[in-house]
Structure 1
Amino acid sequence: MKNIIKSLVITIIALSFSSANAQDYYNVLKYGAKNDSSKLATTAIKNAIDAAVKKGGGTIYFPAGKYLTGPIHLKSNITILIDAGAELHFSDNFDDYLPMVKSRYEGVDVTSFSPLFYAYKAENIAIKGRGLIDGHGKKWWDFVEGYKEGQERSKWQHTFDDLNKDILLPDDPKQMKRGFLRPPFIQFMHSKNIIIEGITIQNSPFWTVNPQFCENIKIYGVTIFNPAKNAPNTDGINPESCKNVHISDCHISVGDDCITIKSGKDAPGRKMATPAENYTITNSTMLSGHGGVVIGSEMSGDVRKITISNCVFDGTDRGIRIKSARGRGGIVEEIRVSNIVMKNIRDQAIVLDLQYAKTTVEPVSERTPRFRNIHFSNITGQVNQAAFLNGLEEMPIENITFSDINLDAKSGFDISNSNRIEFHNVQINTEIGAAIKANKVNNLTIDNVKSYSPLANSPILDLKNVNDAFIYNSNPFSGTGIYLRLSGAETKNISLGNNNFRNAKMPIKKEEDVKEEVKVISGDK
């Protein structure tokens, strides 16, 4: 008898758990949604979310089929589950994205069109599944591309003007004054504990996955497709001013940058002063895009503690790109990039550019951006240019290392206005020019740098106005004409040690404007 009672109790408990779990799922069809896209499902989805919120949260379930919807606003403890075979097609009727909501656009805090997926001050939220979400961005793209300055303003622009009279503007306020800001596809604001997993996303009106001021974000196994052409600013994943972000196992091909890290623009970004920090980006593939992984140019709130590893960039315009300009302010630092393969890179494998926008020299202030403590290792690829490092006269790029790099490139490294630059075990095979060209660089270390396709009329190293350089462990390949060329009246304190120059016709060529002799420490042959 005791065993029978015990068995009944266990059965009741099991049924009770089963019932509770079943109630956690809110099938949108039961709330009036149609899975043949015959009816706008916005209200049905909202009703399902509201029902789940009343129970403390739950999963909003989309079974297979096609759904037409307007914006979806998530609340705390809500998971959107888009099953295999399910497709969410978002309306391209701009009115469906009213009323406007608190948002951020290219680093400026505004009130604008509702993002397609939106959350504000929520926690424990997720978008998951094997289904598809389509932003139908073409109408948004065409409006922006076709807009001419001075033409009659639309009702949406007038609404934007009324809601944003007192916003803090960036140095170049053109976009804000135009007043038509396309919504991001997924934008969660001031939220935490976020998961985006497994889904395929396409045709975003603007930036695709764009958490802002959020904490603890996991973006895993996501595929993003936006057209490579005529789809402006359709970046893939843009976590801005967020903390503790993990992006992995993603596949991205878009009309702008694949993954971009930002923290606000100019004075608006400095006012919010919220850095992007503690990001891990790994095990992902980037195809079409302006850059594989990009930091900036909106980095006014600082970017720090970032790791990028085990990725393939195949067909992007650039590989790793860090960009800023005078007026931004902010610091980019503590960055590690390792184990990267690059193929078919149209421009540079690596870019660090503090003159992304054309500006004039100004005194160092809160408007002055800084790049420092950035390290690259174990990178291989075929690119147009190996790297471009371009600091400011008043704020050089500082403490950058390149280790175990192997690149075939049309042209090599081009470095200017930089301090404390190191190369260790770097092989660069160029078609034109030097493997490394440096101008206005202080404290340069070059350890075992070579080219297996030396050019008769170009040196391997071309240093101009370089101060405090140490070149060692060089072993030029057969056919090398000039290994080291020195020029510039500011070139001084050049030291060599433990080099084997037997295969170099001219180990060192010193131009007349270099007054100081090269110091050979020991071991050179």
Structure 2
Amino acid sequence: MTKHKKNKMKYILKSLIVALLTSLSISANAQNYYNVLNYGAKNDSSKLATTAIKNAIDAAVKKGGGTVYFPAGKYLTGPIHLKSNITILIDAGAELHFSDDFDQYLPMVKSRYEGVDVTSFSPLFYAYKAENIAIKGRGIIDGHGKKWWDFVEGYKEGQTRSKWQLKFDELNKDILLPDDPKQMKRGFLRPPFIQFMYSKNIQIEGITIRNSPFWTVNPEFCENVKIHAVTIFNPHKNAPNTDGINPESCKNVHISDCHISVGDDCITVKSGKDGPGRKMAVPAENYTITNCTMLSGHGGVVIGSEMSGDVRKITISNCVFDGTDRGIRIKSARGRGGIVEEIRVSNIVMKNIRDQAIVLDLQYAKTNFEPVSERTPRFRNIHFSNITGQVNQAAYLNGLEEMPIENITFSDINLDAKSGFNISSANRIEFHNVQINTEIGASIIASKVNNLTIDNVKSYTPLAISPILDLKNVNDAFIYNSNPFTGTATYLRLSGTDTKNISLGNNNFRNAKVPVKKEADVKEEVTVISGDK
């Protein structure tokens, strides 16, 4: 045999081996796909597919795991319970429609509802102590939440309790209740759409979700959660508590490239409520939220108010909020306890914000003063930078008399707002390169603030009847690098008997008719360090 023929034979043999191996590989991969149609599901929604889907999952579990596949078509189903090593793949053109028959979501399972551990209706997608689970694809899942919403909205206290409420009462006799137990005592708790509990290595990717009965994506006590390129649509009106993505008491969460328009908050970080949350004491930590757009919703990204187990190490970046009621909102109240800290917010664009761009509120629920204890919440070490937008109010920061908000910074902020920053009961607040153009009132109003730094803050819409800075009962403030715009009537107004230790340096006040106005109740003189003109 010639050398040429030998090389040709080697080439043919090699090609046959590659083809055989490829065929075996494809065959092996195909065996890992479990098409629900092969287990009795109908893709014309003519038959409830709950049992067929369960059988497909069970078949995959017996083989150590696999992908449960939904080809194009419409499927009607009850709850889907995932096990370890299971991927749900919903192909383009496939739609999963979840039944609105409440009985389908029995028996009740271990769940968490607004930060309280309960036994209640099964979530639509549910997993408990599973790992390596996923929901993926370009298809649609629809929760048909209207019947759930209508039941809750139409319920009146004192009316005859339904069989579901009686079952809830029976299963939740000894639960630890929050300070305000009204929801729990009502005993009809709508299920979250996707709730994985005590699970790890989770992916939710690509799918479109709509009409959730309650919170939409709600992992609880989970670790290593990735939510990527998910679209969520819930009605803006008459769809109560239909938050978008609410990872609660989780660790290592990555939310990216999502598009959300819902009837409550778009993305919310939580860690349990009041006594129940403090007892579990599992923080929300190590979250990244990036490259997302938020439209309708009460808040773009919200932390709390259920934050009793602590929230820490959270970054929010490169997001657009267009039409939400608020942009970034961090909220709590006496009774919660817990700490929110180490938060970074950067590169945010806001448009058509109905209320505030930024909220830090420790009096979300009105309560009376009480001594500092485990019930006292705390906000500290929170930093905002590179934010631009058109909003109703720039920011609202409201601490507690017994626990001021602490170490908050604002850098490179540019906002057009009807009203500016309003800050009370806070320590160590800093502004650097901040422009706030208001229609009414001062750009910054501060009351009961200690250690205030204001560096290059201005407004290009100065008002004849309002100062740019209005400080009342402020202690230890340093104001520098100010360069008021032409037409500024008063740059700085000081008032309050507790106002003291106010220092100015390196300011250009040539365009301000009155650089500093000191009311009669301010006893100390303002210290000019150098460079003021």
TM value normalised by structure 2: 0.98
Specify every segment of 5 or more residues in structure 2 that has no aligned partner in the other structure, as ranges.
Answer: 1-5
Aligned AA (1:390): N
Residue aligned with 1:344, SS:
strand
1:204 alignment partner, one of 202, 205, 212: 212
Q: Distance in 2 between matches of 1:208 and 1:492?
A: 50
Map of 1:472 onto structure 2: 480
Aligned AA (1:212): E
Map of 1:371 onto structure 2: 379
- When residues 142 and 8 of structure 1 are mapped into structure 2, their CA distance, relative to the original with a 3 A threshold, is same
Correspondences of 1:134-153 after superposition (within 5 Å)? 134-153=142-161
Matched, 1:488 2:496: yes
Residue aligned with 2:299, SS:
coil
Matched, 1:122 2:122: no
Residue aligned with 1:227, SS:
coil
Q: Distance in 2 between matches of 1:67 and 1:231?
A: 23
Residue aligned with 1:56, SS:
coil
How big is the shift at 1:17? 1.7
Correspondences of 1:46-445 after superposition (within 5 Å)? 46-445=54-453
How big is the shift at 1:49? 0.2
Aligned AA (1:91): S
Percent of aligned pairs with the same amino acid: 89
Q: Distance in 2 between matches of 1:434 and 1:384?
A: 14
1:462-520 Cα offsets, whole Å, 9 max, x none, are 00000000000000000000100000000000000000000000000000000000000
Out of 430-439 and 2-11, give the one that drifted further. Answer: 2-11
Q: Distance in 2 between matches of 1:436 and 1:491?
A: 16
Residue aligned with 2:497, SS:
coil
How big is the shift at 1:10? 4.3
Count of residues in correspondence between the two structures: 525
Residue aligned with 2:326, SS:
coil
Q: Distance in 2 between matches of 1:284 and 1:49?
A: 32
Map of 2:3 onto structure 1: none
Aligned AA (2:39): Y
How big is the shift at 1:16? 2.2
Q: Distance in 2 between matches of 1:268 and 1:454?
A: 49
How big is the shift at 1:14? 2.9
Q: Distance in 1 between matches of 2:289 and 2:185?
A: 35
Map of 1:44 onto structure 2: 52
1:59-115 Cα offsets, whole Å, 9 max, x none, are 000000000000000000000000000000000000000000000000000000000
Residue aligned with 2:393, SS:
strand
1:363-390 Cα offsets, whole Å, 9 max, x none, are 1000000000000000000000000000
Residue aligned with 1:319, SS:
strand
1:30 alignment partner, one of 26, 32, 38: 38
Aligned AA (1:311): C
Q: Distance in 1 between matches of 2:147 and 2:171?
A: 23
Aligned AA (1:23): Q
Aligned AA (1:199): I
Q: Distance in 1 between matches of 2:153 and 2:511?
A: 56
Specify every segment of 5 or more residues in structure 1 that has no aligned partner in the other structure, as ranges.
Answer: none
